[in-house]
Amino acid sequence: MSDVYEEDYHHFVWATKMREPMIVSRMEILLHTYIRQKVHEMKAYVHAIGGIPDHIHLVCSLPGSLAPSTFIKNIKGGSSHYINHLPENDPLYWQAGYGRLTCAKNDLRRIIAYVENQKSHHAAGSLSPKMERVSSVTE
């Protein structure tokens, strides 16, 4: 429908298998680049991506025709497959499950800043309990 307006903001969080620190610096750039490309292919929009060696945060807008569960399944599966087929990287495995929060446009700037500064928040212990809690969810 051409007369539909949607404005949805999703904050996804998912972790490496057994919360192992698999996302090393040399892998992080490749991983984030792949995820951005995959999100774009699915006609979605990345607002922010960040994380630390054992989990990733992704803030994005999805088209109404794309179910969040289908979206994250494609992102997680595609990204580990991509990384695991690069000869210069160690293997990457995701833990089952994920966390998803939705947010209002008024909160988007704060959430983007939180995600983009994951390393500093974890180093300083200035974490958002709600946003970090979802990173430990499993199926």
CATH, residue 62:
3.30.70.1290
Is pLDDT above 90 for 138? Answer: no
Looking at the predicted structure, is the pLDDT value of residue 59 above 90? yes
| Confidence class for position 5, pLDDT limits 50, 70, 90 | confident
Domain, as residue range, for 65: 9-136
Q: What is the mean pLDDT of the chain?
A: 87
Report yes or no on 48 lying in a domain: yes
Residue 18: CB atoms within 10 A of its CB come to: 9
**pLDDT tier, 74 (very low <50, low <70, confident <90, very high otherwise):** very high
Q: Which residues contact 45 (CB under 8 A, 6 or more apart)?
A: 39, 60, 61
Q: Is the pLDDT of residue 66 over 70?
A: yes
* Residue 1 belongs to a domain: no
Calculate mean pLDDT across residues 97-126.
84
